[in-house]
A and B are shown apart, each in its own frame.
Chain A
Amino acid sequence: MIIDINFVGLIIASIMASAVPLILASCGELITERSGVLNLGVEGMMIIGAISGFALMTVTGSLIIAIFGAMLAGVLISTIFAFLTQTLITNHVATGLALTIFGIGISAMIGKNFVGIPGKEFPVLFEGLKDTLPLLGPILFGHSIVFYFAFTLPFVTSYFLKKTKIGLIVRAVGDSPESASNQGINVRLVRYACILYGGAMSGLAGAYLSMIYTPQWIENMTGGRGWIALALVVFSTWNPIKILIGAMIFGGLTIIQFHMQAIGVRIPVQFLTALPYIVTIIVLVVISRDSRKIRLSTPSSLGKSFYKDN
């Protein structure tokens, strides 16, 4: 059997493409969690982004409006979460769950009129360069702008957290809101900003799914990706670069599943579909087993409400 080197390149490229929504949502949630807020509503924000992007694209015809509109929708829906958890001091876990249930309902409600409408073609960059390099050509070239953005994001996020002053403030707020507050930092404001940013990234992740990856609207099309994104943040031990690795593993599982079906491997299709979820559990167990390592890397105030008398 001759393995076509360009075919390998195409498979890697397709793995990367399926990793994009995970990277976007995880990097967003990572910033939120670094500020000490646990937002379990990623799945809900993502699906809202997916329907908003697709609906805006269909109605306005503009891809730019659709992409930014989806991010804005993510911001708007996460504002509910921010207002509840930060201003009304509600429980993060329960509020996040409510956000997911609400998001899935609202998206299906809006999406009713958009089922079965074909999507639009999303422009890709450097299409012509695809055949110039063996193997690397299909990996590096011929992708959407969101794709390139996603693969830059972990590095930018890492730089932001480690090297910039605002990044330091975010970490300080997450690790010790009391001392940050004593230093004159407005903890609530920082957390608001981080939650809204997480919403924007989840919205973008959703828009990528409905506009670029599988350009159409299907109910519940995120299919648990938001939850896997949450698991990836734990997997990465809150380190953005490791999100990249994790997302590639999960992207790989999704793609392998298609190829195994295509070459007729006699494993029930349900088992292959269940694989990413089962692997998530196994990976979580392996990562979390070392409780000291987890405790050291988890933002100390994660999921705890902060209230200051004024």
Chain B
Amino acid sequence: MIKIVKRDQPSRAIFFFTPVLAIFLTLVAGGLIFFILGFKPFEALKFFFIVPIADKYGFSELLLKATPLCLIAIGLSFCFKSNNWNIGAEGQLTFGAIVSGGVALLFYEQEGFYILPIVILAGAIGGMLYASIPAILKTYFNTNEILVSLMLVYVSKLILDYLVVGPWSNPEGFNFPETRQFSDSAKLPLLFEGLRIHAGIFLALAAVVISWFVFYKTYLGFQMKVSGFSLKTAKYAGYKGKKMIILVFLISGACAGLAGVGEITGPIGQLHREISPDYGFTAIIVAFLGRLHPVGIIFASLVVAITYLGAETAQIFMQIPKYTGQVFQGMILFFLLASDYLLFFKIKFIGSKK
């Protein structure tokens, strides 16, 4: 007989084990889906998860995709820890890219060491500005941040579309929906000859270190944790709830904005219509899979980044539709949430003899 018993307190070992279990279950379910679609499951999984990162170039691509995911997820972990549902990071990324791209275009054909820092800062500020909208509406007008931040994603993409087609489009660009190339001083330097991985990865690593410090070594981090557990307790302790909400939104907006900077000032070096393959949404999964822990998020961003690469490789070699990547991402989150059941409940096998 099987009996389910509620645990007295969540198990810490299982807390870090369930993400691994979720990834395993996703692979099993993914193999099953490939089988249903008429592919050989093991071969498909190999093309999805191993082939893309088997060489130096593939590994660089993995880091390239993991960088924005990690950066955004770190920012989101501030929001999610304190129970603020910012799901519009994609919009904050886009707006950050717009602002930093605009600044980079101001320095068109100019060189100087000071340009890149200004461009990066502009992206962070753009992301913060955009994130402040749902934050302010939530704190002062009681408006649901989930819906507002999401609606703003659509708006930001339309603003970007307007700019690259209209006023900011390259005058010599034969009406392609893109801006002029940024000057070299406005671009993040590439790290290795022939690879696309760029200095943006240091921004992500800095965010990891800073967030770890804030979460575990400062009073602010403690306040965030308490507000996340119970708003009532936080109020009772006299924490400034409204300031906290705005602060966490600004932090996550800045991170998303920086991810946007990385996307346009990295290998591409211009603004165009589609700057992000939904990194902002996927980063939500990364944040959860990483257990809202800075180190966990690093691993999670690498795992989820593979789904992007795998989808591309599988499409080229096996004609598996590239959306399989999204299916995998959704499944990871499903399985992760499901295996959290084990955190709170024990499954006991009771022998029939007794």
Contact = CB atoms under 8 A, between A and B. Distances in A.
B338 A88 contact: yes
A91 B284 CA distance: 14
A242 B340 CA distance: 38
A291 B6 CA distance: 36
B334 A108 contact: no
Contacts, number: 128
B323 A270 contact: no
Interface string A99-112: 10111111011001
A109 B147 contact: no
A88 B154 contact: no
B333 interface: yes
Interface residues of A, number: 43
B142 A288 contact: yes
Given A227-B151, A288-B143, A270 B326 contact: no
Interface stretch (B63-71, B112-120, B156-164, B251-259): B156-164
Interface string A79-106: 0100010001111011101110111111
A289 interface: yes
B151 A101 contact: no
A271 B158 contact: yes
Given A231-B147, A278-B155, A288-B143, A103 B330 contact: yes
Interface in A7-42: 40
A95 B165 CA distance: 37
A294 interface: yes
A contact face: mostly helix, strand, loop, or mixed: helix
Contacts of B165: 270
B337 A102 contact: no
B326 A80 contact: no
B162 A109 contact: no
Interface in B95-144: 137, 141-144
Contacts of A104: 323, 326
A176 interface: no
B166 A268 contact: yes
B285 interface: yes
A234 to B, nearest CB: 6
Contact of A112 (B87, B321, B331): B321
Contacts of B161: 270
Contacts of B328: 105
A230 interface: yes
A20 B147 CA distance: 21
B148 interface: yes
A294 B87 CA distance: 22
Contact of B147 (A90, A95, A102, A234): A234
B53 to A, nearest CB: 21
Interface of A: 40, 80, 84, 88-91, 93-95, 97-99, 101-106, 108-109, 112, 224, 227, 230-231, 234, 268, 270-271, 273-274, 277-278, 280-281, 284-285, 288-289, 291, 294, 309
